[in-house]
Structure 1
Amino acid sequence: MVAILAVVVSSCQSEDKAPLPRYTSDARDLKKPVTAQQQAGRRFIEFRSRYALTYGHTYVVFGSADKNGRMISPEVAGLAPASEDAAPYVIGHFIPVPATTGETDGDLEEQYRSASWRVMLTDAEYNDTVAYIRKLQARSRLWEATVYNCNAFVADIAKHMGYKTPGIWLRPQQFITNLREMNTG
């Protein structure tokens, strides 16, 4: 346990970079960028990280995009301690604490976004992914920083979609950047 905690603490010591550019890929051809015009009326999932008072947060945003690539009625899924109080967050570095799996403060605020990777999906891919997210939300009731954290939750979604995933002990910005790079070349 001490070794695991040392790895987690050391991974959280690095500094986040300035906000990284937004990337959009097509699930059918991950190496081909998608323009805003090509996003119109299409479904997407966006793997995101944001800055926070601690080392940040990793989550997904999903929904439809308009002709300019803007989200239409987006939904958010992520894993975080189910409290605004800092105590469960601190305790969750040692033992599991109750979790929430929906939107948390700052998730849709642009000034906090540190990295993102949007993947455009067909209706069938989108429906399959959203069904999996709902099942994952229903069974994910605990958060623990070293075993099942926000990165692990998002990694489960990415794995379900067939993507390779980085280790869960990275800072959120590094996790999202590595996730994109591992799957787009």
Structure 2
Amino acid sequence: MTLYSGRLSVAVLFAVAVAGCAPDAAIKPNVVSYNNTGSVGAPPSTSAQGTTTRTLPQAQGPYYIEFRSRYALSYGHTYVIFGRLDKSGRVLDREVAGLHPASNSAVPYVLGHYIPVPAETGASDGDLDDRYRSASWRVTLSEAEYTKVVAFIHDLQKRSHYWQATVYNCNAFVGEIARSMGYKTPGIWLRPQQFVTRLREMNGGPNAVGYTGPAG
């Protein structure tokens, strides 16, 4: 039993080192949040790296997609939320898509660092709770843009049956969505907060603008 426990501990530590959906314990619980809608963004705040983040006013579309990461007791997670906005930029409805093992047990997460494990692609516990949000970036969309990306997301969900930490994890799933929209994507082995933050930093354009102020 001791030998087995030791091997399991090594596996968990290895998971911490290489997984895209890795533990966020080392990251301070501050949200790095960006969007391109000045009327609905949070006021300027200071990120975990001491950087001021705020939004730039942009023309709003009636729809949105938000690339988001969250904390968890043991693992962080990267996913997307998408839906409609009202004229004031408030969310009218939302849907969640993200890749994660199809279990609340820790065992599939450990096994998933060696072999693919069955996955789900919908919401998981904590996805819609802002207390657990570690980073986010919202992009507003026209109806045509939204229809196209939602069709891609639903098709991707139908095709994504397995989770594997080093090959196809939650970052990889979200990265496919971002690339379908024409965005550049960072490596899939980043921590979820770092992945979402880096995704915003790598991209620009009239419908994807954020601003990071000087270090404070």
For residues 31-62 of structure 1, the C-alpha deviation after alignment (integer angstroms, 9 at most, x for no partner) is x8346xx54x7100000000012240000000
Q: Quote the offset at 1:25 in angstroms.
A: 2.4
Which has the larger helix fraction? 1
Structure 1 residues without counterparts, runs of 5 or longer: 27-31
1:49-128 to structure 2, matched below 5 A, reads: 49-128=69-148
* Corresponding residue for residue 180 of structure 2: 160
Secondary structure at 2:171 match in 1: helix
| Compared CA separation, residues 87 and 7, structure 1 to 2 (3 A) | closer
The percent identity for this pair of structures is 61
Q: 1:8 and 1:146 mapped to 2: Cα distance?
A: 11
Q: Which shows bigger deviation, 10-19 or 93-102?
A: 10-19
The 3-state SS of whatever aligns with 2:34 is strand
What runs of 5+ residues in structure 2 fail to find an aligned partner? 1-12, 38-54, 205-209, 211-216
Could you tell which deviates more after superposition, 53-62 or 10-19? 10-19
- When structure 1 is superposed on structure 2, of 61-70 and 77-86 the one drifting more is 61-70
Match of 2:17 among 9, 24, 27: 9
**How far apart, in 2, do the equivalents of 1:107 and 1:150 lie?**
13
Flag the 1:138–1:10 CA change in 2: closer, same or farther, 3 A. Answer: closer
Q: 1:170 aligns to what?
A: 190
Deviations 1:133-177 (A, max 9, x none): 001000000000000000000000000000000000000000000
Amino acid at match of 1:22: S
Residue in 2 aligned with 1:150?
Answer: 170
Matches of 1:139 and 1:95 in 2, distance apart? 18
Equivalent residue pairs, number: 173
Deviations 1:41-88 (A, max 9, x none): 710000000001224000000001224433222000000000011111
Structure 1 residues 176 and 132: alpha-carbon distance in aligned structure 2, compared to 1, 3 A threshold: same
- Listed one character per residue, the Cα deviations across residues 104-156 of structure 1 (whole Å, up to 9, x for unaligned) are 00000010000000000111110000000001000000000000000000000
Contact 2:23-2:74 at 8 Å conserved across structures: no
CA gap 1:63/1:34 in 2 versus in 1, 3 angstroms: farther
Q: Kindly provide the amino acid, as one letter, of the partner of residue 153 in structure 1.
A: F
In structure 2, C-alpha distance between the alignment counterparts of 1:7 and 1:82, rounded to whole Å: 18
Partner residue in 1 for 2:36 = 25
TM-score by length of 1: 0.85
- What letter matches 2:131 in structure 1? Q
